[in-house]
């Protein structure tokens, strides 16, 4: 497949302004008729009309009603003699939705029709200029069997519907939908099936009435209340925070069980993976409720950041994704409410960034937020484009302030509403709205965040001069080389900071008495001097994780303890505790010695657990040890087994040393009354679940049977999924004997609920490895009657869980994990390339592995790469890995 380069961008030779699409829906053969209004783009050289099309059966091509000569060149339909004047182009083709296991384009799932067009799925429906800078107004007519597909949906407003009367259409009906907003083809959506809807009418601040609908399969309706509430909350928030109202009379959300992604922001017709939509207390955890709220909001926010203003080309993907993730993160924080609950959101987001994006940035697939080249765009829906992109947007806000950022957003929409634009356009709008700001004066340097891959390393060194009463902070920064990028320039790094004295009191940083300020780094080396500092302070740097960098500040354990106990910034309090743990784990790993937690560390953790004021949700985060992926990130050579052993040792010691405290915490955080997924209740449940898992782990070590028994009882009696799954996880993760009967019972209880059975598979595949038992279990589960590679959620529940989220089960000295990986990647690739390439990425960081893992991993990748019929998706991943 050709490598597509960002700098090769050219406008299309033609524009398509209007599209009239008709679908005669049939699972085996759907007829698509597309009537387009086309005009030549006079600002580029005269050339042929080249339309994209994949896996289509072409029936006819007419220009202004007459047949025209054309040729097919690979996946392009080329018309050499298109008129110079505007013309009508009509194309008829068929597709086969029921054989479309790639789930891109038009496909069937559970007997209904769905589409997924981002990024390049529209070309699997009909021939088109399938690129985001071609924006057209669409009318869609759907025709289908009225009994099997009573609901017919497309973007925009319903114009008409009725029964088809013509002979040959017996039993069929139709609906015509029209979307008044010009949009790129990737936002087109069609749904047809036997669905039911939860409906709600709402009136916005602007006084307009809207109809909100959430469509799902019969039987799932009671699981849509949370999604509907989330949608309403998103509408209210976007109007209040950014003055962005809903622009459609009707806004529809649809759930589908077979879906490659979380959800998709099609104009007025968002399509969701059911895992990101359906929730009831009995079947969804607190984490599911939070994730649904954030994804519903994310897709809704795209209506402005993505749909009203879209991307000029796919290299600009972060223009909409980074910005929209930032917006959904801000929304979740505002919904959480209290300072502490906001901090919990922030910590979770940063943990996710470090677990997913940092490894990406230091592995074979490292790429800038705005990539320079790709062969398959689906491979670039990444943590870098999404999560690092969101951090970049957050830095704009930090540099220009919250009001300044809102002014920038306003200017962005004034300038670009209805356009397909670039990340540069966004940067210009934020800077132009804030002349003279720390951003505007460094805009070119700031934009390196879009062009340079790799996580910058920032070093801080503080020096106190007692005689001069000054404190000097010297910063250096350096971004490591990444594939194809060796020389890096300094980044603009906003460092939100404060200084504490050794008792934890915040010090004045300047004559105004401010105790917090933003230092802006933009050089390889910089110093800042603080006056009137009487004694050696403890610096609290990068508060709230103000930039996506790795910070080395050389703080002693004593200084970290001061921050952990006293910093006014809750993020840095959490961070200090994590670093205390990390220091110990890294020390043991580097020295090759068994890990022993110090009494000071254990006391500090006990202090957190028993703290009278800290929120339970915060305590749970602070008492959870750093993840294995994040620990691996700190090491040049990674031995997954050694890391796992160290983490288990730390957990076991923490479980045992705080035994009585865990038991007290477990009892103290029981909730009476009904289930609500609010931050306070979910924090209590999270802490109780952590305590229970520690108690069962400790019981395994001591041979005690009381706590496993209590966990089993709680598992049986639980009135909500968070408690039930928490108790089950405690048993499974500790390797308790009661795990087997509990798993069996859980399966029997929920065998008819696919999303819960996904959890059942994932829990087993993510369990801490012990003597190869987890790996053996996963292999056996691939043969389970409920397992299939065809459903992405189910496939991920085993494959991604093992290969990406369970390093100690996956990386084996006998290489069996890699053999399994290669088999599964190839098997999935034949069904669903997008899914296969996600699983393929489990090997991104093979080059950092210790031997014997490294050589064995390379061999497995090479074996996959040697297959001649790989998809472009998987080929790009394995070739980048081997490059
Ligand atoms: N654009 C979707 C989302 O991130 C993914 N296709 O919301
Ligand atoms: Zn998105």
DSSP secondary structure string, 120-172?
TTGGGTS-B--STT-EEEEEEEEEEETTT--EEEESSEEEEEEE--STT-TTE
Rounded distance from Cα 298 to ligand 2 centre (Å): 6
Best residue among 261, 296, 304 to mutate for probing ligand 1, ranked by most atoms within 8 Å of CB: 261
CA 677 to each of CA 276, 282, 287, 680, 865: distance values in angstroms, whole numbers, following the listed order: 15, 12, 9, 8, 46
Q: Which ligand is nearest to the CA of 323?
A: 2
Q: Which atom of ligand 1 is nearest to the CA of 299?
A: 7
Instruction: Indicate whether this complex's ipTM tops 0.85.
Output: yes
Global confidence as pTM? 0.99
The three-state (H, E, C) secondary structure of 206-241, written as one string: CCCEEEEEEEEECCCHHHCHHHHHHHHHHHHHHHHH
Contacts of 594 by beta carbon, 8 Å cutoff, 6+ apart:
588, 649
Q: How far apart are alpha carbons 65 and 62 in whole angstroms? A: 5
Rounded distance from Cα 637 to ligand 1 centre (Å): 34
Best residue among 266, 381, 792 to mutate for probing ligand 1, ranked by most atoms within 8 Å of CB: 381
Give the pLDDT mean for 158-176: 96
Name the CATH superfamily housing domain 4-193.
tricorn interacting facor f3 domain (2.60.40.1730)
Q: Is the pLDDT of residue 238 over 90?
A: yes
* b/e code 193-211 from CB counts within 10 Å (16+ = b): bebbbbebebeeeeeeebe
Give the pLDDT mean for 189-216: 96
Number of H helices, E strands in the chain: 29, 31
* Per-residue pLDDT at 360: 98
What pLDDT digit, counting tens, does each position of 502-526 carry? 999 999 999 999 999 999 999 999 9
Q: Is the pLDDT of residue 427 over 90?
A: yes
* Per-residue pLDDT at 77: 98
Rounded distance from Cα 115 to ligand 1 centre (Å): 14
Rounded distance from Cα 193 to ligand 1 centre (Å): 23
* Per-residue pLDDT at 410: 98
Ligand 1 contact, 829 CB (< 6 A) = no
pLDDT band of 204, cuts 50, 70, 90: confident
Ligand 1 contact, 119 CB (< 6 A) = no
Q: Say if 4-193 and 457-554 have the same CATH topology.
A: yes
Phi-psi region of 197 (alpha: psi -120 to 50; beta: other; left: phi over 0): beta
Ligand 1 contact, 633 CB (< 6 A) = no
Q: How far apart are alpha carbons 873 and 871 in whole angstroms? A: 5
What pLDDT digit, counting tens, does each position of 34-52 carry? 999 999 999 999 999 999 9
Q: Is the pLDDT of residue 710 over 90?
A: yes
* Per-residue pLDDT at 38: 98
Rounded distance from Cα 259 to ligand 1 centre (Å): 12
Give the orientation angle of helix 853-865 with respect to helix 872-882, to 10 degrees. Answer: 140
- Which percentage of the chain shows pLDDT scores above 90? 99
Q: How far apart are alpha carbons 566 and 559 in whole angstroms? A: 11
Fold classified for 310-451: Neutral Protease; domain 2 (1.10.390)
Rounded distance from Cα 804 to ligand 2 centre (Å): 22
**Bond before 119 cis per omega within 30 degrees:** yes
Q: Which atom of ligand 1 is nearest to the CA of 320?
A: 1
Q: How far apart are alpha carbons 797 and 755 in whole angstroms? A: 10
Best residue among 299, 310, 311 to mutate for probing ligand 1, ranked by most atoms within 8 Å of CB: 299
Q: Are 692 and 300 in contact (CB under 8 A)?
A: no
Residue nearest to atom 3 of ligand 1 (CA): 264
Rounded distance from Cα 292 to ligand 2 centre (Å): 14
Contacts of 761 by beta carbon, 8 Å cutoff, 6+ apart:
781, 784, 786, 787, 794, 797, 798, 801
Q: Is the pLDDT of residue 18 over 90?
A: yes
Q: Which atom of ligand 1 is nearest to the CA of 321?
A: 4
* Per-residue pLDDT at 500: 98
Question: Terminus-to-terminus CA distance in the chain, angstroms?
Answer: 16
Helix (H, G, I), strand (E, B) or coil at 264: strand
Closest to 265 (Cα-Cα) out of 237, 222, 234, 221: 234
Token pair belonging to 276: 């990101």
What pLDDT digit, counting tens, does each position of 454-471 carry? 999 999 999 999 999 999
Token pair belonging to 600: 């000071």
Catalytic residue among 54, 90, 120, 299: 299
Residue nearest to atom 2 of ligand 1 (CA): 264
Best residue among 115, 262, 292 to mutate for probing ligand 1, ranked by most atoms within 8 Å of CB: 262
Report the mean per-residue pLDDT for the chain: 98
Helix (H, G, I), strand (E, B) or coil at 389: helix
Q: Which ligand is nearest to the CA of 320?
A: 2
Domains of the chain: which residue ranges? 4-193, 310-451, 457-554, 784-883
CA 103 to each of CA 378, 525, 563, 713: distance values in angstroms, whole numbers, following the listed order: 13, 50, 49, 41
Ligand 1 contact, 103 CB (< 6 A) = no
Ligand 1 contact, 263 CB (< 6 A) = yes
Q: Quick one: which H or E segment has residue 699?
A: helix 679-702
Phi, psi (rounded to 5 degrees) for 304 = -95, -55
H-helix segments, 193-338: 225-242, 286-301, 317-336
Rounded distance from Cα 121 to ligand 1 centre (Å): 13
* Per-residue pLDDT at 153: 99
Q: Are 140 and 190 in contact (CB under 8 A)?
A: yes
* Per-residue pLDDT at 1: 80
Rounded distance from Cα 299 to ligand 1 centre (Å): 7
Phi, psi (rounded to 5 degrees) for 420 = -110, 115
Give the pLDDT mean for 683-711: 98
Phi, psi (rounded to 5 degrees) for 150 = -65, -25
The number of residues making up the chain comes to 883
Q: Is the dihedral of CA 638, 643, 644, 645 positive or negative?
A: positive
Q: Which ligand is nearest to the CA of 264?
A: 1
Ligand 1 contact, 321 CB (< 6 A) = yes
What distance lies between CA 525 and its chain's CA centroid?
Answer: 34
What distance lies between CA 94 and its chain's CA centroid?
Answer: 34
Q: Is the pLDDT of residue 837 over 90?
A: yes
Rounded distance from Cα 128 to ligand 1 centre (Å): 21
Q: How far apart are alpha carbons 817 and 812 in whole angstroms? A: 6
Closest to 626 (Cα-Cα) out of 578, 554, 660, 684: 578
Exposure of 590 in the CB half-sphere (CA atoms within 13 A): 10
Between vectors from CA 290 to CA 285 and to CA 294, what angle results, nearest 5°?
A: 145
Q: How far apart are alpha carbons 873 and 832 in whole angstroms? A: 10
Token pair belonging to 230: 């989330």
Residue nearest to atom 5 of ligand 1 (CA): 264
pLDDT band of 637, cuts 50, 70, 90: very high
Best residue among 104, 115, 118 to mutate for probing ligand 1, ranked by most atoms within 8 Å of CB: 118
* Per-residue pLDDT at 516: 98
Q: Which residue has the tokens 């950014």?
A: 242
Closest to 760 (Cα-Cα) out of 787, 736, 792, 783: 787
Give the pLDDT mean for 699-726: 98
Ligand 1 contact, 120 CB (< 6 A) = no
Q: Which ligand is nearest to the CA of 118?
A: 1
Give the pLDDT mean for 607-615: 97
Q: Is the pLDDT of residue 205 over 90?
A: no
**Bond before 852 cis per omega within 30 degrees:** yes
Q: Is the pLDDT of residue 139 over 90?
A: yes
Annotated catalytic residue 667: no
Q: Which residue has the tokens 């971004």?
A: 479
Q: Are 753 and 283 in contact (CB under 8 A)?
A: yes
Give the orientation angle of helix 816-829 with respect to helix 773-781, to 10 degrees. Answer: 20
Residue nearest to atom 6 of ligand 1 (CA): 264
CA 670 to each of CA 47, 205, 624, 683, 708: distance values in angstroms, whole numbers, following the listed order: 70, 40, 19, 11, 18
Give the pLDDT mean for 653-662: 98
* Per-residue pLDDT at 267: 98
Q: Are 29 and 19 in contact (CB under 8 A)?
A: no
What pLDDT digit, counting tens, does each position of 327-364 carry? 999 999 999 999 999 999 999 999 999 999 999 999 99
Ligand 1 contact, 264 CB (< 6 A) = yes
Ligand 1 contact, 130 CB (< 6 A) = no
* Per-residue pLDDT at 568: 97
Closest to 338 (Cα-Cα) out of 327, 346, 348, 326: 346
Q: Which atom of ligand 1 is nearest to the CA of 298?
A: 7
Pick among 2.60.40.10, 3.80.30.20, 2.60.40.1840, 2.30.30.90: CATH of 457-554: 2.60.40.1840
Q: Are 584 and 650 in contact (CB under 8 A)?
A: yes
Burial class (CB in 10 A: 0-12, 13-18, 19+), 101: middle
CA 617 to each of CA 10, 347, 688: distance values in angstroms, whole numbers, following the listed order: 50, 11, 10
Closest to 307 (Cα-Cα) out of 397, 188, 433, 388: 188
């Amino acid at each position: 497949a050709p490598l597509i380069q960002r700098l090769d961008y050219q406008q299309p030779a033609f524009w398509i302004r209007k599209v009239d699409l008709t679908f005669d829906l049939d699972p085996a053969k759907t007829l698509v008729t597309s009537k387009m209004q086309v005009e030549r783009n006079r600002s580029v050289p005269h050339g042929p009309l080249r339309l994209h099309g994949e896996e289509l059966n072409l029936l006819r091509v007419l220009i202004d009603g007459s047949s025209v000569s054309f040729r097919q060149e690979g996946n392009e339909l080329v018309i050499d003699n298109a008129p110079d004047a505007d013309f009508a182009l009509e194309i008829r083709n068929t597709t086969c939705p029921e054989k479309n296991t790639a789930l891109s384009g038009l496909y069937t799932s559970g007997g209904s029709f769905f589409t997924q067009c981002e990024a390049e799925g529209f070309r699997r429906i009909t021939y088109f200029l399938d690129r985001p800078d071609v924006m057209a107004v669409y009318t869609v007519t759907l025709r289908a069997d009225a009994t099997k597909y009573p609901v017919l949906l497309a973007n925009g407003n319903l114009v008409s519907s009725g029964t088809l009367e013509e002979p040959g259409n017996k039993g069929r009906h139709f609906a015509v939908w029209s979307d008044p907003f010009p949009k790129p083809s990737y936002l087109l959506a069609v749904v047809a099936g036997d669905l039911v809807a939860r409906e709600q009418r709402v009136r916005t601040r602007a006084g307009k009435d809207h109809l909100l609908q959430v469509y799902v399969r019969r039987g799932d309706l009671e699981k849509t209340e949370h999604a509907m509430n989330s949608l309403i909350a998103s509408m209210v928030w976007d109007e209040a925070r950014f003055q962005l109202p809903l622009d459609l009379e009707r806004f529809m959300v649809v759930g589908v069980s077979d879906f490659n992604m979380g959800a998709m922001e099609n104009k007025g017709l968002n399509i969701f993976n059911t895992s990101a939509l359906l929730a009831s207390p009995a079947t969804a955890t607190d984490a599911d409720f939070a994730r649904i709220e954030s994804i519903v909001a994310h897709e809704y926010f795209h209506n402005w950041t993505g749909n009203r203003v879209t991307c000029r080309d796919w290299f600009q993907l972060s223009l909409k994704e980074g910005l929209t993730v930032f917006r959904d993160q801000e929304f979740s924080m505002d919904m959480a409410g209290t300072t502490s609950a906001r901090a919990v959101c922030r910590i979770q987001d940063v943990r996710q960034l470090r677990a997913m994006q940092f490894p990406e940035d230091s592995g074979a697939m490292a790429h800038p937020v705005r990539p320079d080249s790709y062969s398959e765009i689906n491979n670039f829906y990444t943590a870098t484009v999404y999560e690092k992109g969101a951090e970049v947007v957050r830095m704009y806000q930090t540099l220009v302030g919250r009001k300044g950022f809102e002014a920038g957003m306003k200017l962005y929409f004034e300038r670009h509403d209805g356009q397909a634009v670039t990340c540069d356009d966004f940067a210009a709008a934020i800077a132009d709205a804030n002349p003279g700001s720390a951003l505007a004066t460094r805009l070119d340097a700031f934009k390196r965040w879009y062009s340079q891959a790799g996580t910058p390393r920032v070093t801080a060194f503080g020096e106190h001069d007692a005689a001069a009463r000054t404190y000097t902070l010297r910063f250096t920064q350096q971004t490591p080389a990444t594939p194809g990028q060796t020389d890096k320039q300094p980044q603009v790094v906003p460092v939100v900071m404060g200084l504490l004295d050794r008792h934890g009191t915040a010090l004045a940083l300047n004559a105004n008495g401010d105790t917090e300020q933003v230092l802006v780094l933009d050089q390889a080396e910089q110093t800042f001097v603080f006056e009137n500092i009487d004694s050696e302070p403890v610096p609290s740097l990068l508060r709230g994780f103000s930039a996506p960098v790795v910070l080395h500040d050389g703080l002693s354990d004593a200084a970290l303890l001061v921050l952990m106990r006293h910093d006014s910034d809750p993020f840095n309090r959490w961070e200090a505790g994590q670093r205390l743990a990390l220091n110990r784990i890294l020390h043991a790993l580097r020295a090759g010695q068994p890990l022993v937690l110090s009494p000071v560390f254990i006391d500090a953790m006990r202090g957190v657990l028993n703290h009278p004021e800290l929120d339970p949700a915060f305590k749970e985060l602070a008492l959870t040890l750093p993840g294995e992926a994040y620990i691996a990130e700190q090491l040049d050579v990674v031995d997954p087994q050694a890391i796992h052993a160290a983490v288990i040792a730390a957990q076991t010691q923490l479980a045992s040393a705080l035994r009585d405290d865990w038991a007290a915490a477990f009892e103290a955080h029981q909730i009476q009354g009904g289930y609500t997924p609010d931050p306070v209740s979910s924090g209590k449940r999270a802490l109780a679940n952590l305590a229970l898992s520690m108690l069962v782990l400790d019981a395994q070590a001591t041979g005690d049977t009381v706590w496993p028994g209590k966990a089993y009882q709680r598992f049986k009696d639980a009135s909500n999924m968070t408690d039930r799954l928490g108790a089950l996880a405690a048993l499974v993760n500790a390797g308790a004997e009661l795990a087997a009967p509990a798993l069996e019972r859980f399966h029997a209880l929920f065998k008819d609920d696919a999303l819960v059975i996904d959890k059942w598979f994932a829990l087993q595949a993510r369990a801490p490895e012990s003597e190869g038992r987890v790996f053996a279990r996963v292999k056996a589960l691939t043969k389970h009657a409920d397992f299939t590679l065809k459903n992405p959620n189910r496939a991920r529940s085993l494959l991604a869980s093992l290969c990406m989220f369970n390093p100690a089960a996956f990386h084996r000295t006998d290489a069996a994990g890699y053999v399994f990986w290669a088999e599964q990647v190839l098997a999935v690739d034949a069904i669903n390339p997008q899914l296969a390439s996600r699983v393929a990425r489990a090997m991104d960081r093979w080059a950092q592995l210790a031997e014997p893992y490294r050589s064995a991993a390379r061999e497995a990748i090479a074996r996959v790469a040697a297959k001649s019929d790989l998809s472009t998706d998987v080929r790009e991943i394995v070739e980048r890995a081997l490059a």
